[in-house]
Structure 1
Amino acid sequence: MQYNQLSNQRVLSIDAFRGITILVMIFVNELAGIRDIPAWMKHMPADADAMSFVDVVFPAFLFIVGMSVPFAINNRLKKGDGFWQLQGHIASRTLGLLVLGVFLVNTEGGYNEAEMGMSINVWALIFLAAAIMIWKVYYTQNKILVYSFKVLGIVVLTILAFLYKNVQGGHITPQWWGILGLIGWAYLYSSIIYQLTRGNMLMIFLMIAVCIGIYVVSRTESVAALSWLQWTRIQSGNAIDTAITLSGILLSLLFFQADKPTSDYKRFANAFVFTFVLFIAGYILRPAYKISKIYATPTWALYSAGLCCIIFIFLYWLTDKKHIDKWTGFFKPAAANPLLTYIIPDIIYFLTAWLGISLVPDSLRYGLPGTLWSAVYAVAVMGIVTVLNKMNIKLQL
Structure 2
Amino acid sequence: MYLDSASELKMEKKSHRILSIDIMRGLTLFLMLFVNDLYEPGVPKWLLHTEGSVDGMGLADWVFPGFLFMVGMSIPYAIASRRKKGEATMDIFGHILIRSMSLLLIGVLMLNSGRINSELSGIDRNLWAVLLYISVFLIWNAYPQSIVLKNLFIGLKLLGVITLIVLLVIFKAGEIDDPSWLKIEWWGILGLIGWGYFVAATAGLFLKSRFWPVFFLWLFFVGLNILSQLGLTEALNFLKPVFGVIIDGNVPAIVLAGLTVSTILTNKELGSKRIVVVITILGFACLGIGFFLRNWFILSKIYGTPSWAMVCNGISMLVYAFLFFLIDVKGVSKWGLAFGAAGKNSLTTYLAPDVIYFICWGMGFHVFLYKQEMNPLVAVAGSLGWSALMIGFYILLSKINIRLKL
CA distance in 1, matches of 2:244, 2:67: 22
Structure 1 residue 21, shift from structure 2 partner: 1.0
Aligned with residue 15 of structure 1, among 22, 30, 34: 22
3-state SS of paired residue (2:249): helix
Where does residue 131 of structure 2 map in the other structure? 126
Q: Please list the CA deviations of residues 256-314 of structure 1 after superposition, one character each: whole Å capped at 9, or x if unmatched.
A: 233xx222333222212321221222122111111001111111111111111111111
Unaligned runs of 5+ in 1: 1-6
> Any residues of structure 2 matched to 1:345-364 within 5 Å, and which?
345-361=353-369, 364=372
3-state SS of paired residue (1:294): coil
Where does residue 246 of structure 1 map in the other structure? 256
Contact 1:218–1:236 (CA under 8 A) maintained in structure 2: no
Structure 1 residue 230, shift from structure 2 partner: 6.0
> Any residues of structure 2 matched to 1:30-49 within 5 Å, and which?
30-31=37-38, 33-49=39-55
Structure 1 residue 144, shift from structure 2 partner: 3.3
Q: Please list the CA deviations of residues 6-33 of structure 1 after superposition, one character each: whole Å capped at 9, or x if unmatched.
A: x9621111111011111111111111x2
Contact 1:13–1:319 (CA under 8 A) maintained in structure 2: yes
CA distance in 2, matches of 1:328, 1:172: 40
RMSD: 2.0
Unaligned runs of 5+ in 2: 1-13
Where does residue 3 of structure 1 map in the other structure? none
Q: 2:216 aligned with 1:206, yes or no?
A: yes
Where does residue 256 of structure 1 map in the other structure? 266
Contact 2:272–2:329 (CA under 8 A) maintained in structure 1: no
The list of structure 1 runs, each at least 4 consecutive aligned residues, that deviate by more than 4 angstroms after superposition, is 228-233
Q: Please list the CA deviations of residues 163-214 of structure 1 after superposition, one character each: whole Å capped at 9, or x if unmatched.
A: 1111142222222111011000100011112233232211211111211221
Q: Please list the CA deviations of residues 66-118 of structure 1 after superposition, one character each: whole Å capped at 9, or x if unmatched.
A: 0000011121112111122111111111122111111111123x321111101
CA distance in 1, matches of 2:330, 2:323: 10
> Any residues of structure 2 matched to 1:123-162 within 5 Å, and which?
123-139=128-144, 140-141=146-147, 142-162=149-169
Contact 1:162–1:172 (CA under 8 A) maintained in structure 2: no
CA distance in 2, matches of 1:252, 1:171: 41
Contact 2:55–2:298 (CA under 8 A) maintained in structure 1: yes
Contact 1:90–1:191 (CA under 8 A) maintained in structure 2: yes
Q: Please list the CA deviations of residues 198-250 of structure 1 after superposition, one character each: whole Å capped at 9, or x if unmatched.
A: 322112111112112212222334x435x357657934675211111111111
Where does residue 88 of structure 1 map in the other structure? 94
In structure 2, the CA distance between the partners of 1:216 and 1:229, relative to structure 1 (3 Å rule), is: farther
In structure 2, the CA distance between the partners of 1:70 and 1:363, relative to structure 1 (3 Å rule), is: closer
3-state SS of paired residue (1:169): strand
Q: 2:401 aligned with 1:396, yes or no?
A: no
Q: 2:120 aligned with 1:115, yes or no?
A: yes
Could you tell me the percent identity over the aligned residues?
Answer: 31
Aligned with residue 323 of structure 2, among 312, 315, 321: 315
Aligned with residue 303 of structure 1, among 293, 298, 311: 311
CA distance in 2, matches of 1:154, 1:363: 35
CA distance in 2, matches of 1:305, 1:237: 19
CA distance in 2, matches of 1:45, 1:303: 17
Which stretch of structure 1 is more off in the superposition, 135-144 or 372-381? 135-144
Which stretch of structure 1 is more off in the superposition, 190-199 or 62-71? 190-199
The one-letter amino acid paired with 1:56 is W
In structure 2, the CA distance between the partners of 1:112 and 1:363, relative to structure 1 (3 Å rule), is: closer
CA distance in 2, matches of 1:246, 1:297: 16
CA distance in 2, matches of 1:166, 1:296: 29
The one-letter amino acid paired with 2:355 is I
Q: Figure out how many residues of one structure are paired with residues of the other and give that number.
A: 385
Q: 2:65 aligned with 1:59, yes or no?
A: yes
CA distance in 2, matches of 1:138, 1:284: 49
Aligned with residue 291 of structure 1, among 299, 303, 306: 299
Contact 1:131–1:153 (CA under 8 A) maintained in structure 2: yes
Aligned with residue 82 of structure 2, among 76, 80, 86: 76
